[in-house]
Structure 1
Amino acid sequence: MSSADYTALIRTRGPEISEAWRGRFTEAYPQAEMMLPPGDEMPPMLIRAALSVLEYSPAEVSDRLKALASDLRRTGFPADEYPKAVHLLIDAISSVSSFVADDHADARADLAALSEAAEIMRETASTLDYEGVPAATAAQVTSMEDHGEVQVVRLEAGSQVRYCPGQVIPVMSPSRPGEWISLVPALPSNAFGQLEFHVPGRVPVAPGQWLTLGAPRGGVRGDLDGPLLLIAADGGFAAAKALLFHYLEQEQPPEVHAVIGAVEPSELYDTAALDALAATQDWLELTQVVESRVGATLEQVVSGAGMWWGRAVIICASQKRAASIAASLHAAGADNVQVVAYDAPAGWF
């Protein structure tokens, strides 16, 4: 591989290229400052996407490019502008290098690959536009409950917001344009457009405010109709709650043992609905684990003998905590383990 190809340049001088690309992008699209997060560079996922296209091929990462295009529709960026945006990237690469693409075969191939990727994204976004798939949804905050580190925020969108239980939805507040936080709805999708999010306390949200919701992603794989161990900890309560109320709507819910974990009792919140559900539903067993009281970690409890035997496992937590819990279960011998992590990156590239 030539040292002058685009792949090598992005790898060795990525921050310079990203900053140059953002400068060109915001000059061409002045309104882009409202789309992009604060900073001097383009979002890292776009640079990772470009590298994946160059290291493999547009055809090999086509599904990932389509997913990215679908996701980025929430920013309001026009579908037909993807080719121009990629040419701005190519210009940015050239601006920090000393070669011209026409002089290098590898660089010409890279340029063609980037252009092909832009066309895949343009076509995907255009098709979704034509089919009338909403690029984003607005929902108004109707009420809030303050639980210290977490705010239980209820919203109404006016019409159904379609997602599956456990899926992550990017959410933007008008007070922080261009900044999207990932949240998991705490209720199943419903015809009334009612939503509930458990929002970190540091995120400013106010009653009456309108939030912008992007396309959902991730979620639980496959149909889980057998015995299930559902674990919630460290920011995962909303996802677990949505899954339990989803199973409540099923004609034959699976047998579920839900384990809600916390370090201190004060970290347990909004559990009244689950207590009531467990009291009336014979398919649900609910256990609350307060580590400071039981003298053991949640990892030790859920990986113990009998807890996961014969059950599929779903862990709802932050990415870091979910990885810790999953590692304990795998070490104990569990192999059917899924993770729903609200803060996990999209993982397309």
Structure 2
Amino acid sequence: MDSRTISLVRTTFKAVVAEDDGPERLARSFYSILFTDYPGIRELFPAAMDAQRDRLLKAIAYVVDRLEEPDKLMPFLAQLGRDHRKYGTTDGHYIAVGNSLIKALRTFSGTEMWNDEVDAAWAEAIGVITETMLGAAKAETSPPVWSGRVVEHQEVLRNLAVIRLQMDQPMSYVAGQYVSVQIPARPRMWRYLSPATPANDRGEIEFHVRAISGGWVSPSIVGHTQIGETWLIGAPLGGLGVPRDPDRAMVMVGCGTGIAPLRAQLMFMATRRANPKVHLFIAGHHPCDLYELESLWQLSITNPWLTITAITESEDNPWWYMGADLGIPPGIELRVGQIGKIVAGYGAWPDRDIQIVGSAPVVQTTKFRMMAAGTPTENIRHDPLF
């Protein structure tokens, strides 16, 4: 796409979503058009569409913002195409989605903004997206979906559980990536989770899940997962992973269950002969949220390249926590405060490869504070925030 095409696509999309209710109106209009014009496609989607609508708009925004960065956009679209195989998508589904999106955008743009040139620009953009996703999907030889049987369910906190599964066959993924999962109690409601262990040839996989208040899926996982039930698992996604350069030191920042993909990388690194220095910041709102601190400390004892700093926003545990105080293992520094401010307070980290994992607000705040402290933007990595 040339600069004119990119400008037209970006301008119309930004104009449509600029209003306070713009994103929600566009998403609702898109799905209304899609299900009306192509009724057979409705069965691919969950009954509750709130999360789906939000994810759609964030994905489109992510793509629109990176149309001039093919080195970042194309791998993302290729991964998305491989992931969409789990839905049983066909060429016709991509055509339906593209036509419905253009129709919804045209409806909200109005005649003053939408013309033949804009229409052609969006058609070209959607053509590139579709071609990339379909091409990657058709070229992939791995299964479109794996199944895994729950073999352990451990409630670490009232709102947090560790789930271990035995997959039907091993999955090859890079430590640090994430996958989509579907549980039997919530059909067609796929959610993204990061394996907390590196891939292995035995097909074992572990997830850390926190129940989100008002959520459809995570509370069910934490409170109602049964041993023996079968989950479906989609293809691996994401760009996090251990740098190949063993001399490039790392900073890892993980908040809450965001520690999972970082833990997987550290476990993988512990099997190698040589590793870069790693400074891990593990954070939580309360001391009890540092549920992985003991195991990570044990890892650091035999791997001197790993330094750990623990951070909590509060010195006290919540009223409902009845467990014993976790305690801070020897050699680990404990800081109390806001994670982004504390990490940025160590300096600019100009020569470090930096990964940030956690909720979208935590990632954004930490990233902006580090950039304000002088950290080069290109040194910071995190997955798309949706």
Does the TM-score normalized on the shorter chain lie above 0.5?
A: yes
Query: Separation in 2 of the partners of 1:50 and 1:303?
Result: 28
Matching of residues 196-345 of structure 1 within 5 Å:
196-202=206-212, 203=218, 204-205=220-221, 206=225, 207-220=227-240, 222-225=243-246, 226-293=248-315, 294-305=335-346, 308=349, 310-335=351-376, 337-340=379-382, 344-345=385-386
Matching of residues 1-349 of structure 1 within 5 Å:
11=16, 14=26, 15-25=28-38, 27-29=39-41, 32-36=42-46, 38-39=48-49, 43=53, 65-77=77-89, 79-82=90-93, 85-86=96-97, 89=100, 109=120, 113=124, 116=127, 120=131, 123-124=134-135, 127-128=138-139, 132-148=141-157, 149-202=159-212, 203=218, 204-205=220-221, 206=225, 207-220=227-240, 222-225=243-246, 226-293=248-315, 294-305=335-346, 308=349, 310-335=351-376, 337-340=379-382, 344-345=385-386
Query: Separation in 2 of the partners of 1:41 and 1:283?
Result: 40
> How many residues get paired?
328
1:93–1:272 CA distance, 2 compared to 1 (3 A): closer
Unaligned runs of 5+ in 2: 17-21, 109-114, 213-217, 316-334
Q: Which has the higher contact order (CA 8 A, sep 6+)?
A: 1
**1:230 partner letter:** M
**1:299 partner letter:** G
Contact 1:83 1:122 in 2 (8 A): no
Sequence identity (%): 24
1:114–1:46 CA distance, 2 compared to 1 (3 A): farther
Partner secondary structure for residue 249 of structure 1: coil
RMSD: 4.1
Question: Is 109-118 or 214-223 further displaced after alignment?
Answer: 109-118
**2:230 partner letter:** W
Query: Separation in 2 of the partners of 1:50 and 1:300?
Result: 28
Unaligned runs of 5+ in 1: 98-103
Counterpart for residue 100 of structure 1 = none
Partner secondary structure for residue 287 of structure 1: strand
Contact 1:326 1:337 in 2 (8 A): no
Query: Separation in 1 of the partners of 2:274 and 2:193?
Result: 28
